[in-house]
Structure 1
């Protein structure tokens, strides 16, 4: 009789487990684990990003964590008298999105002023600045942002800005904020003349004409000291402004976690010591925002190595010290950033392949690395020894190959290390390097705008002025094929390199899935020899892949029991919208962090 009772009890427990789990592994596993949830989402289309249970109808959460994923029927077991039950009415839910490359801490100074990206000529750009200046006569400094050399045909000059006839400083920053141009008033105020020294000749420098005279265009971070000297940098306004607006905007688009690869203040182009001090000061502000409940997302950030005096013996111990202070799930430091090359438009991107011959070139031109191969290698090796990740701005084939060699060497030298060194932007990759990246599972972060037509011109006309067609077709945008073949690739919008309103998940999805710039169909798809992302590729890049890169795959990136209750809710399934219509039709109506709203517009 006891044996029969035991068998019946065993069968009953099995039945309870089966009913509670909906036949899936990641729901609550036994009747004893059923708890009264704080909040329940039900009657939805839930994209879990968990291959063992790809979809669900309902999710329950308690104390900021997920306690059930499954059917509308079985979630009832978790509902008590005080449970908030939200009827999704068929809405579409994903894990909270993770933007793995965004500068949303102190960078609004590079987006302040008037946006001129729509200008297709120097004259159009000047007309936009003139209208803005006329409407804002009290401005002490007139600033324009996001001019695109691919559209204008060249960088503007001081002579161009002088045509505005303004007796005050004028500065125009290029797309990606890599370059800046000043009018003559600003140059005189900052005491810039033809004797000015370049920070890194050929990479970070003042543009000069054929006679050796400066044009007013400062390439890469060369513009930052002048920007400070003319009084354009106002940190007490710009730092909180960045946090409030840019983080708030991304939260409204379903983002719950970000990786900020370097806190950008003007000092990162001026002084390494001052850059580290800025970092410490800003981390205190971020901590205060968390403690006050103002924080809208998890932030993983890092110190920034940029200048020639950047020494791994200074930066790695600093990163270790910051990790000791900031190592929680809302604010974390476990990496440092290296800015190892520049932009091809100024021939500052480090390529193994020569640039096309320009007037005055005696030999094929190869841009130097912004940071030497020895410094890159020493930093990666020292960081690995301390389990500090290195994130590299690596756009050109040469710097990507250099970094890949050092990352592989670090894996062999420190096989027990848990580091996940990463390369970002990766616009141009040699196939041979790609094979090494795949073999050693080196993570990558891509910025779709850097390889599409708005950055490179219709049919690639701008990039083809710099490189051969063979180089472009062989190396540009190769990350797409790598991702589709299993490489760990995340996506990032890189604001302020892109304006934040054009650097959010759905926008990036449409870019990656169409190879076009939303709203600019006349530019066409580029590069045309690459296979675009699918919606599966896009979703994976901003959920599970990004979570792994942040070393938080056990806590975020998918909707599973035990993970944080981070969700993005949309008006309709992203799978039901044509790729070219995503920006127009997909609306994020709710964002939850720890199960609490950071955005609610129709829930």
Structure 2
């Protein structure tokens, strides 16, 4: 046997292979596992050049993979003012007063819809006059708030044809823009005239973000970015031997030409680097419930969320069929029940053996849950969107908009898992924090793990510790269509591991505080406590 380059010993090794008991140690040569077994047996594979790490009883699992992030967009947004801790409009005003303009603008991110307490989202309720142009992304990243100075700089009137079914500039009763911009096409009207953000600073931030991701046990992430320069920034990270793995999903937007289908197929079958690859195509079926741009079977309380992102939903059907026929997996953003319904019906009719997935699924019709299970469609879900942005008393904007019946169908993680659907878990960072320990704990509790006095949201959708771990390992791999042992610890499989000091199957409230001991990517230690 070839000598191991890395040996991890004296651990509780959870291989994530069905029915397999825990092992004690793992040996690696290069980026592949060459032995799994007792510490004594695995040490026999070591030699004078082997690096041996004694895990002293820690739990070792397959590497944790976040199934949905926006690493480049998050890094760019992080160059602005963080409004995520603002709990009321006074907090927002204070943050704006303290902000220092950059190139004459104030840019921000993370503003919670709930600070408006159910009232219309307008900049004037914060400040009627603010001389410096301001553009703030709301937490959902599908909407933004601009002040009058920014709107005037961009010449926004609200009469622009944005070319998409749900994007719009919100107008008041007099027909004037309120500053609330819904979806990317509307946000771009203002963003296109704002100063270009510092790419060098963003690259530095991105490197810092990935280091932070490794420190909380992440070995990789499914990247849902397709901003200009995104792949170039990931290529820079790929040169770093201590980097993560990235699965990149190129966008297919409703206004893209048919040529984009062939382009994406070429990228998926030929694009990638040492630790990154194009994994498929990202499509959008709707927007968000909070923004009123989701696609619901019945309108929300404001009469909104009644249209899909595709003006012709049948074109979505045609695009997905053509992508699938070329061997391209798709990941479709679908939040509302009508959007999920359309996607499930479309994907269930495909028969070419390509894995497809749906992102978010915040409210779903019961019949579509069962069809997902029988059709082999994967789900990619973010439990902390439920636990961190809705409240148990349903006074939050998401719950108010939907109403009791649809709230009860919110984020059906457990139900999907019970039907055999691979449920990959993630954060949608920067929408929510990327720490998998927080996501796994919240998914088990259906409330914030750090708020023990809080009540759960839809408690019947709570999942087990094993299901939570599956969501970051074997199910994340399944959602990406990987089949080389990814998401498990097996001989010949990838050498991606996360070691945590403590019991992942213990009380959920304690999981976020379990220390990460070692993170290994491709056989290299990228983090060690």
Alignment TM-score, normalising by the size of structure 1 = 0.82
State whether residues 448 and 511 of structure 1, in contact with CA within 8 Å, keep that contact through their aligned partners in structure 2: yes
C-alpha separation in 2, matches of 1:538 and 1:520: 19
Q: Match for residue 328 of structure 2?
A: 388
How many angstroms does 1:285 deviate by?
4.5
C-alpha separation in 2, matches of 1:138 and 1:419: 46
C-alpha separation in 1, matches of 2:370 and 2:158: 46
Q: Match for residue 306 of structure 2?
A: 367
Alignment of 1:232-381 (within 5 A): 233-234=196-197, 236-237=199-200, 239-263=202-226, 265=227, 278=228, 281-290=229-238, 292-294=239-241, 296-306=243-253, 308-311=254-257, 313-327=258-272, 330-356=275-301, 358=302, 367-371=306-310, 372-381=312-321
C-alpha separation in 1, matches of 2:96 and 2:441: 30
How many angstroms does 1:521 deviate by?
4.8
Corresponding residue to 1:446 among 376, 381, 402: 381
C-alpha separation in 2, matches of 1:155 and 1:241: 37
Corresponding residue to 1:546 among 476, 481, 492: 476
Pick closer, same or farther for the CA change 1:137–1:341 going to 2, 3 Å. Answer: closer
Whether 2:517 is the aligned partner of 1:598: answer: no
Q: Match for residue 486 of structure 2?
A: 556
Q: Match for residue 414 of structure 1?
A: none
C-alpha separation in 2, matches of 1:517 and 1:508: 9
How many angstroms does 1:199 deviate by?
4.5
Q: Match for residue 173 of structure 2?
A: 210
Per-residue deviation, residues 464-504 of structure 1 (Å, max 9, x unmatched): 4212312322x212232211342111011111222xxx222
User: Any stretches of 5+ residues in structure 1 without a counterpart?
Assistant: 1-33, 266-277, 412-416
Pick closer, same or farther for the CA change 1:444–1:329 going to 2, 3 Å. Answer: farther
Greater fraction of residues in helix: 1
Alignment of 1:422-433 (within 5 A): 422-433=357-368
- The number of aligned residues is 525
Instruction: Compare CA radii of gyration and give the structure with the larger one.
Output: 1
SS of structure 1 residue aligned to 2:358:
strand
Pick closer, same or farther for the CA change 1:321–1:238 going to 2, 3 Å. Answer: farther
C-alpha separation in 2, matches of 1:258 and 1:176: 19
Whether 2:120 is the aligned partner of 1:186: answer: no
Pick closer, same or farther for the CA change 1:168–1:252 going to 2, 3 Å. Answer: same
State whether residues 316 and 336 of structure 1, in contact with CA within 8 Å, keep that contact through their aligned partners in structure 2: no
SS of structure 1 residue aligned to 2:333:
strand
State whether residues 99 and 259 of structure 1, in contact with CA within 8 Å, keep that contact through their aligned partners in structure 2: yes
C-alpha separation in 2, matches of 1:107 and 1:444: 23
C-alpha separation in 2, matches of 1:197 and 1:519: 45
Deviates more, 1:217-226 or 1:328-337: 328-337
How many angstroms does 1:103 deviate by?
1.2
Pick closer, same or farther for the CA change 1:155–1:309 going to 2, 3 Å. Answer: same
SS of structure 1 residue aligned to 2:402:
coil
Whether 2:36 is the aligned partner of 1:101: answer: no
How many angstroms does 1:258 deviate by?
1.6
State whether residues 247 and 297 of structure 1, in contact with CA within 8 Å, keep that contact through their aligned partners in structure 2: yes
C-alpha separation in 1, matches of 2:190 and 2:217: 37
C-alpha separation in 1, matches of 2:187 and 2:454: 30
Alignment of 1:15-164 (within 5 A): 34-131=1-98, 133=99, 136=100, 140-153=104-117, 154=119, 156-162=121-127
How many angstroms does 1:439 deviate by?
0.8
Whether 2:404 is the aligned partner of 1:469: answer: yes
Whether 2:136 is the aligned partner of 1:172: answer: yes
